A = this chain, B = another copy of it.
Amino acid sequence: MNARSSKLLDTQTWPQAMTFAAFRQTVPIDEKSVYKLFFETNTDQIKVQNPKVAIPKLKLILVCMFRISARRGFHAMSLRDLCEATGLSMGAMYNYIISKEQLAKMVTEMVGVTFVDVNQPLLPAIGEPELRLEALIRAHIYMAELFQPWYFFVYMETKNLSPDHIKRAKQVEENMLNEVRAVILEGARAGIYLPLDSKLVAAACQSLIQDWYLKSWHFKGSCVDATAYADFVLDSIHRLLKYHR
């Protein structure tokens, strides 16, 4: 992309423009480059050091793992299944992973830490509660769109990890819930929003967002894209929270 076209597209920058396209352009990782980041974050745990070899293989391993796990669950997937799906041998597989459990942990860590870190600076910290709520919800839906298999995996498999990993994952969920709740409460205090039970409303928000990656198969069949779904969620929240004179 040259400087000129980049400048043209820069007019659609997140969060000024709250479309999926704008978000994708602004966020520093996407569904392709994430494997490079995954490699760099975990070099100490991966024996194969040559990035040109390791990154495509890691991608292959993770994609196959997501597919099998989504169908049968991570625990039910044997490493022999994964080897057959990737075409790797048992020995080669263990040049990329420390253990089966560690593989799952690397993924949850990536989602729980890296993805959150990447997302944080993109959210407006001050301004109208309505605008901040929109940015918050859209950012989550768009992240879920980019990394659907990652989020799905973490949601389904977190409970099988070690207790401290479970706690961390729960805290990430709780933080997101509290962020939403804080903005709703702020809006209520400012008289913009109805004084509803903020905990229940925030939980409902979270549930709608999670639907996007938990039941993506369902929406893909209905020709609803991420932007349209985010529109729907925000319109619903709006109708729920705002005064109607």
A200 to B207 alpha-carbon distance, docked (Å): 13
Interface residues of A: mostly helix, strand, loop or mixed? helix
For residue A236, CB closer than 8 A to chain B, the reply is: yes
Chain A, interface size category, equals: 20 to 34
Cβ contact within 8 Å between B75 and A232: no
Residue in B76, B156, B236 whose beta carbon sits within 8 Å of that of A204 in the complex: B236
A72 to B211 alpha-carbon distance, docked (Å): 22
Query: 17 A-B residue contacts at CB 8 Å?
Result: A70-B159, A72-B159, A73-B159, A73-B160, A75-B75, A75-B76, A199-B222, A200-B222, A200-B229, A200-B232, A203-B211, A203-B218, A204-B208, A204-B211, A236-B240, A239-B239, A240-B240
State which residues 30-80 of A face B: CB under 8 Å: 70-73, 75-76
* Residues of A participating in the B interface, judged by any CB pair closer than 8 Å: 70-73, 75-76, 156, 159-160, 197, 199-200, 203-204, 207-208, 210-211, 215, 218-219, 222, 224, 229, 232, 236, 239-240, 244
Closest residue of chain B to A199, judged by CB? Answer: B222
A201 to B203 alpha-carbon distance, docked (Å): 17
> How far apart are A169's CB and chain B's nearest CB, in angstroms?
14
Which residues of B are found within 8 Å of A236, using beta-carbon distances? 204, 240
Which residues of B are found within 8 Å of A72, using beta-carbon distances? 159-160
A210 to B222 alpha-carbon distance, docked (Å): 21
Which residues of B are found within 8 Å of A218, using beta-carbon distances? 203
Which residues of B are found within 8 Å of A239, using beta-carbon distances? 239-240, 244
Cβ contact within 8 Å between A197 and B73: no
Closest residue of chain B to A70, judged by CB? Answer: B159
Which residues of B are found within 8 Å of A240, using beta-carbon distances? 236, 239-240
Which residues of B are found within 8 Å of A71, using beta-carbon distances? 159
- 20 further A-B contacts with Cβ under 8 Å, apart from A203-B218, A236-B240, are A70-B159, A72-B160, A73-B73, A73-B75, A73-B159, A73-B160, A75-B75, A75-B76, A76-B160, A156-B156, A197-B232, A199-B222, A200-B222, A200-B224, A200-B232, A204-B236, A207-B207, A207-B208, A207-B210, A239-B240
